A and B are shown apart, each in its own frame.
Chain A
Amino acid sequence: MDLITMLKTMLDGMGGTCAIFFLTLLFALPLGMVVALLRMSKVKVISSITRAIISVLRGTPLMLQLIAVTYGPYYLFELPVAKNKLVPVVIAFAINYAAYFAEIYRSGIESIPVGQYEAADILGYSKIQTFFRIILPQVLKRIMPSVTNEVVTLVKDTSLAFTVSYVEMFTIGKQIANSQSSFVPFVVAGVFYFVFNAIVDYVMGKAEKAMNYYQ
């Protein structure tokens, strides 16, 4: 197989990789905030249930969660397996990453001094106003480096999707490698992940700078 065909074939799979990446972020970033708020709920039952869920999601391999989400419904309730594999894959990724994002958000929210809440209260801000106008903007600034960390990991984790036969770039690379007894596809895959993450790094760096308006 010549290099051009190889690149073209692998490029076909990059669509699959990008789809997981963008859809996971789309769902996991907001879902993480909901989970974080539930985790910090003053109602003991809610916060401990959320805590238990987070520890299961972080404590078991993503590969296992992919299998559970895709084939679990079939084995438990005889439901058909999704024809479009992107659906269970994104569900599994989004839930898993939401658990990590939730803890990052929590670290940010809890780092804001109590004095700010008291000051906002005296100035007449409602609880919701305090959160969205005063707390959240500061939280976003503080958590950016940790979020970038997770996003970079997500790019590389997309290769796990083949566990449930979702074909993405790395899977195709592996197929070419084994079909042609060649290591070149792995080099191509490495370059692709690196370039992808360089873009992520650049974009997140820009965002961080844009939010740095007090310094």
Chain B
Amino acid sequence: MKRIIAMMLALMMVFALCACGNNTSNDDKQKADDSVKTLTVGVDPEYPPYAYMGDDGKYTGFDVEVAQAVCDLLGWKMEIFALNWDQKLTQLDAKECDCIWAGMTILDSMKEAGYVISEPYYDNTQVLLVKTDSGYKTSADLAGKAVAVQLGTSGEALLNGDLSSLKDSFSNVVTCNSFLSCFTELGGGSVDAVFVDYPVAAAYVAENDGYSIIDEGLGAEQYGIAFRSGDQELCDQIQAAIDQLVENGTYQKIADKYPDIVNNLIFLNK
């Protein structure tokens, strides 16, 4: 009996080592193909519907699909780089990716720091996600209640800046490290609302019963693609490609797959 267990454990070890082997061979393949220009797109793959892990275990989402279409059009190879969102600008500076393209809010501070930003492509607002049976209808109803927000998001920045009076009306703001933990706090009753980007809330409401959205157009902002300072040319190339995709209808086709965000896409509403 003991021997069988030992054998099984040994097999598992071997299996684990094989997995290591597989990984490195993947890296080699990517390195070998240097002749084609590669665009490394930095995304936050925990941010549906812009970028997330699809049912087949591959990265997908609106931004990922548009980026892929742009690369196809320009004859480039696309590579996805999973950003650590808290450190996205460091990782862009360090040339780990060529751009940040993942539902990223355009902040004045980024422009001041010299980053090249594309034309805005999405109008976003911050909303409050609440349980439907709680009966909250406006942000005023939430005075004195606890609210969750994700660390490093524009929602968090707004609460600490322009919307600080709203923050002061809450009894407590809980900062979580992912949307899922924010939503779990809400589901579990430890907070009464989640302050979150509209499309994320819409996607969650579509999948889960018993939640509703309070949309008061708070913190209107726009999404864009960020490049390193000096990469104006790359930005222009990609912008031109996107314009072409809008014209030939590919952009619309991709957008139709994401009903939660299609209404706020700037290029389609011009």
Chain A interface (Cβ within 8 Å of chain B)? 1-2, 5-6, 8-9, 11-12, 14-16, 18-19, 22, 67, 71, 74, 80-81, 83-84, 162-165, 167, 171-172, 174-181, 183, 195, 199, 202-203
CA distance A174 to B84 in the complex (A): 12
Contacts of A195 in B (CB 8 A): 12
CA distance A183 to B90 in the complex (A): 30
Cβ–Cβ contact B22 & A181, under 8 A? no
Taking a contact as CB atoms closer than 8 A, the residue among A5, A6, A175, A203 that contacts B45 in the complex is A175
CA distance A171 to B45 in the complex (A): 10
Cβ–Cβ contact B84 & A175, under 8 A? no
Chain B: residues with Cβ within 8 Å of the partner, total of 41
Q: Flag the segment in B49-57, B114-122, B132-140 that touches A.
A: B49-57
CA distance A22 to B83 in the complex (A): 25
Contacts of B91 in A (CB 8 A): 165
Q: Does residue B248 face the partner (Cβ distance < 8 Å to A)?
A: no
Cβ–Cβ contact B48 & A179, under 8 A? yes
Q: Does residue B4 face the partner (Cβ distance < 8 Å to A)?
A: no
Contacts of B93 in A (CB 8 A): 74
Contacts of A11 in B (CB 8 A): 19
Cβ–Cβ contact B54 & A165, under 8 A? no
Cβ–Cβ contact A175 & B82, under 8 A? yes
Q: List 8 A-B contacts (CB under 8 A).
A: A8-B57, A15-B16, A18-B19, A81-B94, A81-B95, A177-B180, A179-B46, A195-B12
The contact string, 1 if C-beta is below 8 Å from chain A, for chain B 79-111, is 001111001001101111000000000000000
Given A164-B84, A165-B84, A199-B9, A178-B56 contact (CB < 8 Å): no
Task: State the main secondary structure of chain A at its contact with B.
Answer: helix
Chain A minimum-CB-distance residue to B180: A178
Cβ–Cβ contact B52 & A179, under 8 A? yes
CA distance A179 to B95 in the complex (A): 26
Given contacts A22-B17, A83-B31, A165-B84, 20 further A-B contacts (CB under 8 A): A1-B53, A1-B57, A2-B55, A8-B57, A9-B53, A14-B16, A15-B21, A15-B22, A18-B16, A19-B23, A22-B20, A165-B81, A175-B45, A178-B47, A179-B48, A180-B55, A181-B183, A183-B184, A199-B9, A202-B9
Cβ–Cβ contact A181 & B204, under 8 A? yes
Instruction: Tell me, rounded to whole Å, the shortest Cβ–Cβ distance linking A96 to chain B.
Output: 19
CA distance A19 to B22 in the complex (A): 11
Instruction: Tell me, rounded to whole Å, the shortest Cβ–Cβ distance linking A84 to chain B.
Output: 6
Given A18-B20, A19-B20, A179-B183 contact (CB < 8 Å): no
CA distance A39 to B243 in the complex (A): 64
Which chain B residues (247-262) contact chain A, with CB distance < 8 Å?
Answer: none
